């Protein structure tokens, strides 16, 4: 997983972390800096839910669908940024397998918010006027935190509660 960047500097970047920690914001900035597509798992999960596909299997299916899209983009010679909670080792394994098949390095970036009050504020601020069952409440986020499996292996850990722009450190880690 710590292989040197592939020819052309291609890389597969997989973000991980709980809802509301700032993953999507940072993933978007990284994608823009790399000129790489950002593939979020959340919208795929929501699309599956609109068709009544909910529960553990569709969640895994959403990750597999995004992995398939990422494989196509890597095949076109692009780097790819995956924006996902990546809560368990089994779904994170998709990215390792894909990176190995594509012959590109995998860079995991685990994002968290070390200030619990700020994390809660962010989660609660995301609640729209119309209820969206796919956006977790603070209580559901705490359940996800209890179920979140530790990441084993190389990764960059980013704390978005720290008052420093994480982008330079992330880009340095990716190069």
Q: Is 167 inside a domain boundary?
A: yes
Tell me whether residue 28 is in a domain.
Answer: yes
- Domain limits for position 160: 7-174
151 Cβ neighbours under 8 A, 6+ residues apart:
16, 86, 92, 108, 110
**Looking at residue 45, what is its pLDDT?**
86
User: Is there a domain that residue 2 lies in?
Assistant: no
Pair of tokens at residue 55? 């529960």
The model's pLDDT over 88-105, given as tens digits with 9 standing for 90+, comes to: 998 999 999 999 999 999
Q: Inform me whether the pLDDT recorded for 80 exceeds 80.
A: yes
Total domains in the chain come to 1
What whole-number distance in Å separates Cα of residue 8 and Cα of residue 50? 39
Confidence (pTM): 0.89
pLDDT band at 129 (very low <50, low <70, confident <90, very high): low
Q: Is residue 1 part of a domain?
A: no
Which domain CATH number covers 48?
3.40.50.300
Side-chain half-sphere of 21: how many Cα atoms within 13 Å?
27
Whether the predicted pLDDT of 11 surpasses 90: yes
Dist. CA 51–CA 34, nearest whole Å: 34
């Amino acid at each position: 997983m710590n292989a040197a960047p592939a020819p052309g500097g291609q890389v597969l970047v997989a973000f991980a972390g709980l809802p509301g920690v700032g993953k999507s914001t940072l993933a978007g900035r990284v994608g823009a800096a790399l000129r790489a597509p950002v593939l979020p798992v959340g919208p795929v999960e929501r699309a599956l839910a609109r068709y009544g596909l909910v529960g553990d299997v569709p969640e895994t299916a959403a990750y597999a669908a995004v992995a398939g899209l990422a494989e196509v983009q890597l095949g076109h010679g692009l780097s790819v940024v995956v924006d996902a909670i990546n809560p368990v080792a089994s779904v994170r394994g998709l990215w390792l397998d894909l990176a190995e098949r594509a012959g590109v390095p995998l860079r995991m970036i685990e994002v968290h918010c070390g200030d619990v009050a700020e994390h809660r504020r962010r989660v609660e601020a995301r609640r729209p006027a119309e209820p969206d069952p796919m956006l977790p409440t603070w209580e559901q986020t705490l359940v996800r935190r209890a179920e979140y499996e530790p990441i084993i292996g190389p990764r960059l850990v980013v704390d978005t509660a720290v008052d420093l722009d994480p982008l330079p450190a992330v880009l340095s880690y990716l190069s």
